[in-house]
Structure 1
Amino acid sequence: MTDYSYFDIKIKLRDPDAVVLTPSLFRNCIIDSLDSFFCEEKFTLEIVKFCAQQQRVIFRVPQELHDMTCGCLELIGHYQEIPCHFQVLETSKTALDFEKLRGNEKNNEN
């Protein structure tokens, strides 16, 4: 049985209207970056939740790729040739959910 790491990511785009944000394009952006930095690996990345409006994605990778994925996310500077930054909101060894996290964020604001 494979253990997984879950990532809750927010993509911050310089010009959000200039890109198409879809699960497959997001996935390809991450996979291409992982491949370019660590070309000897075959990477598995599964989108668990996706919200184009919030520009957020929850995905999972095998636990042994956690550190490589964290390092790679910090180095990605473009999405569809538009400057961007990937903000890691949370990582976990258990499944993450937007709704649960949004509730926690509202509680922290009060």
Structure 2
Amino acid sequence: MANHYYFDIKLKLRDPDAVVLTPALFRSCVLDALDSFFCEEKPTLEIVKFSAQQHRVVFRVPEELHDMTRISIEHISHYQQIPCHFEILETSKSSLDFEKSIEKTLSGLSSSED
């Protein structure tokens, strides 16, 4: 059984209204970065969760591509010719769900205010 890593990524755009954010375009941007930096064949990059409103995505890559993927993502500076920054919020060997992490953060904030 192949081992995988999950990445929770937030895309920060200079002009969010100037782009179309779709799972396919996001995936293509990351795959192009991998190809540009490492000249690797297009690896398996599976989108597990996507939110255009939050500019977030959780995707899964094979374990052997973890380091190359992390480095590539940190160096992406444009999305559809718009300056941007891809922020890696979390990586994990177990499945990630950014909606649960948001709920956990919000519940932690409300209990700390008590």
Ranges in structure 2 where 5+ consecutive residues have no aligned partner: none
Q: If the length of structure 1 is used for normalisation, what is the TM-score?
A: 0.95
Q: Which runs of 4+ in 1 moved over 2 A?
A: 107-110
Supply the AA of the counterpart residue of 1:63.
E
Write the distance in 2 (CA, Å) between the matches of 1:41 and 1:25: 18
Q: Deviations over 1:54-96 (max 9, x none)?
A: 0000000001111111111110000000000001111000001
1:19 is aligned to 19
Write the distance in 2 (CA, Å) between the matches of 1:102 and 1:40: 34
Give how far 1:107 is off: 2.9
1:35 is aligned to 35
1:65 is aligned to 65
Deviates more, 1:77-86 or 1:41-50: 41-50
Report if the CA contact (8 A) 2:34-2:40 is conserved: no
Ranges in structure 1 where 5+ consecutive residues have no aligned partner: none
Deviates more, 1:53-62 or 1:31-40: 31-40
Write the distance in 2 (CA, Å) between the matches of 1:75 and 1:108: 32
1:94 is aligned to 94
Compare CA radii of gyration and give the structure with the larger one: 2
Partner SS for 1:53? coil
Give how far 1:43 is off: 1.3
Aligned length, in residue pairs? 110
Identity of aligned residues (%): 67
Given the alignment of the two structures, is residue 3 of structure 1 paired with residue 3 of structure 2, yes or no?
A: yes
Q: If the length of structure 2 is used for normalisation, what is the TM-score?
A: 0.92
Q: Deviations over 1:7-61 (max 9, x none)?
A: 0000000000000000000000000000111114441100000000000000000
CA root-mean-square deviation:
1.0
